[in-house]
Chains A and B, each alone.
Chain A
Amino acid sequence: MKKILIIGATSAIAEATARLYAEDGARLSLIARNPDRLEAVAADLRQRGAESVETFVLDANEFERHETVLNAADEAMNGIDFALIAHGTLPDQAECQSSAESTRREFDTNCTSTISMTTILANLLEPRGAGSIGVITSVAGDRGRASNYVYGAAKGAVTLFLGGLRNRLHGSGIHVLTIKPGFVDTPMTADFPKGPLWAKPESIARGIHKAQRRRRDVVHLPGFWLPIMLIIRSIPERIFKRLSL
């Protein structure tokens, strides 16, 4: 029986992933900001086969509570086999451009808080010599683009951080998984017109479930984003700066 910790458990991708672990009969600890939503997700997972579901209310930007809440979640399940960090927002790029304060706040939500919790979890798991840490970053973190570079920079920083952490923990038994979804049809992206490149949260969830099981390092979800991003990453900056992507 697996013990799964999910941070940002009310996000669409996290909820879809949690359902897959519930069907496996896992024990779950869920962390999210909104108590009503958190309880709605937890009650549903209990009916979908989860062995037990514990909930912890936390706003990712309450940095001083990270350690306490993560320790409580760990104790509630008596250990963690897989910690999935899925919280995040989609910043308003125009608002961030005009306000350094907004940029800093979005960075806290999408990058600093993630790095803080990942650090705490890594130090919790390292002495035990087993466990996975998966973090949802984004293909948007691969290249700086005018339309969403604050979001992209935050996700890109997390991707880079995870690369370093994986390198550090290599040989320790701790698996670090970088999850890079492309466009996903979720409440976070409700305002966007959808096209053929868009995926459903359920399909991303299946990709995460499989990548964790196979102890992958980095996954693009759906997989077709890997060749797309290889091309996008290879465009020289002097050409890229002229494009509107």
Chain B
Amino acid sequence: MSDRTVHRSWGRLPTKGSSRIVNLNWRHDELPSDSLGQGGLLCHGNGRSYGDSCLNDEGTLLLTRGLDRIIDFDPATGLLECESGLLLQELLELMLPQGWFPPVVPGTQLITIGGAVANDIHGKNHHLASSFGSHIRSLELVRSDGSRLQCSPSEHAELFRATIGGLGLTGFISSVRLQLKSVSGGDIDQEMIPFSNLAEFFTANEDSEKRFEHTVAWVDCAAPASSLGRGILICGNHAEGESTRKARGRSLISVPFTPPISLVNGPSLRLFNELYRQKQTMGSRRTRIHHQPFFFPLDSVRNWNRIYGPRGFYQYQMVIPPESSEAAIGEILHQIKLSGTGSFLAVLKRFGNQEAPGLLSFCRPGTTLALDFPNRGERTTALLDRLDQITLDAGGAVYCAKDARMSGPSFRTYYPQWQELENLRDPAFSSNFWRRVTESPS
């Protein structure tokens, strides 16, 4: 009922392992039973996790994209129940014309709802809306013992909390009930605020958070040492009235093949960052734009992850607690500068102080920075180890959905509650990531 295939995650780092592939098409079906003793099961949505949390070498990947049905929707309240393999893009196409928007969206709409739950994803509105899990009213969890559990804050509450941000390890999330947000159209009123250093960012951001639902900053990683920490704060609110702006359509541009070497290198990084800075600072500070370029700029280039060449890339995202945010992020930018490897895109965002909905949620009070690095072997991992040390010393954490290399001891320090998830994990479910960070010696 399946073939073995090598699956890569979005970071396209080379892998040796292969997995048995089973497509899930019907949420009422039983899970494949021949799982135990064969490397275990793991659900795999649209494969947008960057590292190895969506991989299960020598085991079985249950592909969920066939589960893309709406189960119920109340256009009066915006309460949506859908199967877990529905893409955010498909949800938007169906719900935006009816005046409803996902409560939280990440930087791509090409992720499944199940993946959004399992990674408890966050967006530019975290300071107001918290993370995706905070908007889940209930979900159905199918366990390998055949049980089907309706989990919510009041039913199987422990499993509900463990499943949000639970990296798919508590079982198969078959369906999700999600509260959408009411909007009048698909446009965004955007405002750009340049800043010349991190201190300015924190001041400008604090002011913007009072005026804007969505805030995020781009940091110029290729800036000279004297201007380190400069960037642009990009803010937005859902615009009043119907959509007036057109999207560029589904991915007009595509990277058609993987170039033999990474196209992301010193000169191209400096050029890109300079062009980006000029484009953003030269245009009007205030504009009304379509929501797609505002929320999902990378989706306009299909297969953009191929530009990093056959060796792939590492994404690194950490969060630093408020009291040490400025110093630690300054130090991280400094270390990147010293290493000579810039990041193509560096994205900075302050999280709000809400209590995280998931047991292993990444979001916590503080400031998060997301970075991309082409895989240059040891040079890159050595830099990431240094960034890990800064994050550890500052009492921060690294985002599991993007990680491919953090050490077991680091993970267990970032997520001391991991043992609770281990206890609630479905014994038939596992992933490369989970084995890597929990089985390595301390």
Question: CA of A36 to CA of B94 in the docked complex: distance in angstroms?
Answer: 23
Q: Is the CB of A48 within 8 A of B27?
A: no
Select A191's contact among B3, B26, B72, beta carbons within 8 Å.
B3
Q: Is the CB of A40 within 8 A of B66?
A: no
Q: Is the CB of B23 within 8 A of A41?
A: no
Asked if A75 is at the interface of the complex by the 8 Å CB criterion, the answer is no
Asked if A196 is at the interface of the complex by the 8 Å CB criterion, the answer is no
Q: Is the CB of B72 within 8 A of A190?
A: no
Chain B residues with Cβ under 8 A from A37's Cβ? 26, 28
Q: Is the CB of A44 within 8 A of B69?
A: yes
Q: Is the CB of A47 within 8 A of B70?
A: yes
Asked if B157 is at the interface of the complex by the 8 Å CB criterion, the answer is no
Question: CA of A228 to CA of B251 in the docked complex: distance in angstroms?
Answer: 31
Within 8 A of A (CB), among B87-142: 94
Number of interface residues of A (CB under 8 A): 13
Question: CA of A36 to CA of B71 in the docked complex: distance in angstroms?
Answer: 12
Annotate A138-151 by CB proximity to B: 1 below 8 A, 0 otherwise.
00000000000000
Annotate B1-24 by CB proximity to A: 1 below 8 A, 0 otherwise.
111000000000000000000010
Chain A residue with the shortest CB-CB distance to B26: A37
- How far does the Cβ of B117 sit from chain A's closest Cβ, in whole Å? 19
Question: CA of A37 to CA of B73 in the docked complex: distance in angstroms?
Answer: 18
Chain A residues with Cβ under 8 A from B23's Cβ? 187, 190
Select B70's contact among A48, A187, A190, A191, beta carbons within 8 Å.
A48
Annotate A144-185 by CB proximity to B: 1 below 8 A, 0 otherwise.
000000000000000000000000000000000000000000
Question: CA of A40 to CA of B23 in the docked complex: distance in angstroms?
Answer: 17
Q: Is the CB of B1 within 8 A of A190?
A: yes
Asked if B25 is at the interface of the complex by the 8 Å CB criterion, the answer is yes
Q: Is the CB of A43 within 8 A of B26?
A: no
Question: CA of A189 to CA of B58 in the docked complex: distance in angstroms?
Answer: 23
Chain A residues with Cβ under 8 A from B73's Cβ? 47
Question: CA of A48 to CA of B95 in the docked complex: distance in angstroms?
Answer: 10
Q: Select the residue from B69, B70, B83 with max chain A CB neighbours within 10 A.
A: B69
Chain B residues with Cβ under 8 A from A193's Cβ? 3
Q: Is the CB of A40 within 8 A of B94?
A: no
Within 8 A of A (CB), among B59-79: 66, 69-73
Chain B residues with Cβ under 8 A from A36's Cβ? 26, 28
Chain A residues with Cβ under 8 A from B3's Cβ? 191, 193
Number of interface residues of B (CB under 8 A): 16
Chain A residue with the shortest CB-CB distance to B95: A47
Within 8 A of B (CB), among A178-214: 187, 190-191, 193
Chain B residues with Cβ under 8 A from A12's Cβ? 25
Q: Is the CB of A191 within 8 A of B2?
A: yes
Question: CA of A223 to CA of B2 in the docked complex: distance in angstroms?
Answer: 28
Q: Is the CB of B69 within 8 A of A41?
A: yes
Q: Is the CB of A191 within 8 A of B1?
A: yes
Question: CA of A12 to CA of B27 in the docked complex: distance in angstroms?
Answer: 15
| Given A36-B26, A36-B28, A43-B69 contact (CB < 8 Å) | yes
Chain B residue with the shortest CB-CB distance to A37: B26
- How far does the Cβ of A56 sit from chain B's closest Cβ, in whole Å? 19
Question: CA of A89 to CA of B211 in the docked complex: distance in angstroms?
Answer: 58
Question: CA of A36 to CA of B3 in the docked complex: distance in angstroms?
Answer: 27
- How far does the Cβ of B85 sit from chain A's closest Cβ, in whole Å? 12
Question: CA of A48 to CA of B93 in the docked complex: distance in angstroms?
Answer: 10
Q: Is the CB of A43 within 8 A of B2?
A: no
Chain A residues with Cβ under 8 A from B70's Cβ? 43-44, 47-48
Chain A residues with Cβ under 8 A from B66's Cβ? 187
| Given A48-B94, A193-B3, A187-B25 contact (CB < 8 Å) | yes
Chain A residue with the shortest CB-CB distance to B27: A40
Chain A residue with the shortest CB-CB distance to B98: A47
Chain A residues with Cβ under 8 A from B26's Cβ? 36-37, 40
Chain B residues with Cβ under 8 A from A190's Cβ? 1-2, 23
Known pairs A187-B23, A190-B1, A190-B2. 8 more at Cβ < 8 A?
A36-B26, A37-B28, A40-B28, A40-B69, A40-B71, A41-B69, A43-B71, A44-B71
> Shortest 3 CB-CB distances between A and B: which pairs?
A44-B69, A47-B70, A36-B28
**Interface, chain B (partner A; CB < 8 A):** 1-3, 23, 25-28, 66, 69-73, 83, 94
Could you list 21 A-B pairs, sorted by A, with CB under 8 Å? A12-B25, A36-B26, A37-B26, A40-B26, A40-B69, A40-B71, A43-B69, A43-B70, A43-B72, A44-B69, A44-B71, A47-B70, A47-B72, A47-B73, A48-B94, A187-B23, A187-B25, A187-B66, A190-B2, A191-B3, A193-B3
